[in-house]
Amino acid sequence: MINRRLVFMGTPDFAVPALKAIHSAGHTIVAVYTKPDSPAGRGRVLKSPPVKEAALKLGLPVFQPHNLRGPEVLEELTALNPEVIVVAAYAQLLPRKILELPRHGCKNIHASLLPKYRGGAPIHWAIANGEQETGITIMQMARGLDTGDIILQEGIPIGIDQDCGEIFTLLANLGADLVLRVLDLEDVGESRRTPQNDAESSYARNLNKEDGRLDFARSARDVHNRIRGFNPWPGAFTTVEGNYLRILQSRLSDEGVKLMPGQTEVRAGKVLVGCADTSLEIEMVQPAGRTVMSATAFMRGYNNKEPGTQLFLAT
């Protein structure tokens, strides 16, 4: 194994397996850069990013600049003298001077099969759009957004009922494996670089809460994909009689039942909701301020209505 002197940059849970794997492999991590602590929860208490927590447990020095454009950041990195910088979901674009600083440049672990799904939410949108495959790309970073040359790429299938949380974990572990392979190459992948075809690119924009609002005037498969793609965050939701209802799990129905969009009823112990083409089976839900429950339990107990009473979800 070749020992690399490197700086690691990352912020969320996705980046943690790569950080741990690089450390376990014996590479010299001279510093970890991550986003500043941010307020979280109802009390707005400052919370450390997952990468910071993992780095401190490993005894690694942590830097948390608000941005990377200040001259002091470049001075710090120059003094650290990394031969390569590894980036995983850091959530900031690296300035040109930092990209050019390490001898072997900056390598990014991106959760898509580039050039598809450049941007900040590639896993969410791949599932929400009904893709049957996604993967990890190890990329030589360039000044554009996820536009750099591809060094190594590997795909995984997306099962019809797998959600973002499941795929997130699989890709985080795959990214850790692939980046170790790149670091072990004699030239850190310089000879493997393949330019991306910009004509085949697509963009996966960052999500907000409102993206999770479901529209049952779409096809059942489309609604199912969005429930999967937005679980656990931002969460797929609708309203019933004006009350918030999060939908965590669904399944494509083979009942062939045609209901009006948003019309919900129980048939043969299954909760079905009408979509544009056919009905979708709803399995798990969470009403506002309550715990997760089965959709059948929700239908039995909602507003003390009589068994068999139909509800209408907002469309």
Q: Under 8 Å CB-to-CB from 84, ≥6 apart: which residues?
A: 4, 5, 6, 102, 103, 104, 105, 106, 107, 183, 188
CA distance 210 to 11: 24
> Which CATH number goes with the domain that contains 227?
3.10.25.10
Name the phi and psi angles at 299, rounded to 5.
Answer: -65, -35
Nearest of 266, 253, 279, 250 to residue 305 by alpha carbon: 266
| pTM exceeds 0.85 | yes
The mean pLDDT value for 291-308 works out to 76
Q: Name which residue leads in pLDDT, 41 or 265.
A: 265
Residue 98 or 299, more confident:
98
Radius of gyration, alpha carbons of the chain: 23
Residue where a domain stops, chosen among 200, 219, 254: 200
Domain shared by 119 and 241, yes or no: no
pLDDT digits (tens, 9 = 90+) for 26-78: 999 999 999 999 887 777 788 999 999 999 999 999 999 999 998 999 999 99
Q: Are residues 160 and 218 in the same domain?
A: no
CATH number at residue 112: 3.40.50.170
The count of domains in the chain is 2
Same domain assignment for residues 242 and 300 = yes
Mapped onto helix, strand or coil, the DSSP state of residue 274 is strand
Residues 162 and 301 in one domain: no
* Tokens at 131, concatenated: 């893709």
Mean pLDDT of 1-24: 96
| Same domain, residue pair 75 and 173 | yes
Domain termination site, one of 152, 172, 200: 200
pLDDT of residue 307: 47
Tell whether 160 and 234 lie within a shared domain: no
Do 270 and 169 lie in one domain? The reply is: no
Distance from the Cα of residue 59 to its chain's centroid: 27
Res. 304: pLDDT tops 60:
no
Return the percentage of the chain with pLDDT > 70, whole number.
96
Which among 153, 171, 180, 181 is positioned nearest to 24, based on CA atoms? 180
Q: Mind giving me the DSSP string for 24-80?
A: HTT-EEEEEE-PPPEEETTTTEEE--HHHHHHHHTT--EE--S-S-SHHHHHHHHHH
Judgement on whether residues 166 and 85 belong to the same structural domain of the protein? yes
At 91, the pLDDT band (50, 70, 90 cuts) reads: confident
* Phi, psi of 80, rounded to the nearest 5 degrees: -70, -25
Mark out the alpha helices in the chain (DSSP H runs): 16-24, 50-57, 71-80, 96-99, 122-128, 164-183, 220-229, 295-301
Would residue 99 be called left, alpha or beta, if left means φ above 0 and alpha means ψ between -120 and 50 degrees? alpha
Question: pLDDT by residue (tens digit) across 118-170?
Answer: 999 999 999 999 999 999 999 999 999 999 999 999 999 999 999 999 999 99
45 and 66 within one domain: yes
Is the domain of 187 the same as that of 90?
yes
What is the band of 172 on the pLDDT scale with cuts at 50, 70, 90? very high
Tell me, what's the pLDDT at 7? 98
Same domain for 139 and 233? no
Range of the domain at 158: 5-200
The reply to whether 91 and 146 lie within a common domain is: yes
> How many Cα atoms sit within 13 Å of 179 on the Cβ side?
35
Strands 243-252 and 133-140, bridge-based pairing: unpaired
Whether 18 contacts 88, CB under 8 Å: yes
pLDDT confidence of 257, banded at 50, 70, 90?
A: confident
How does pLDDT run across 185-235, given as a tens digit for each residue?
A: 999 999 999 999 999 999 999 999 999 999 999 999 999 999 999 999 999
Picking from 151, 169, 200, the residue at the C-terminal end of a domain is 200
Query: 47 pairs with which residues across the strands?
Result: 38
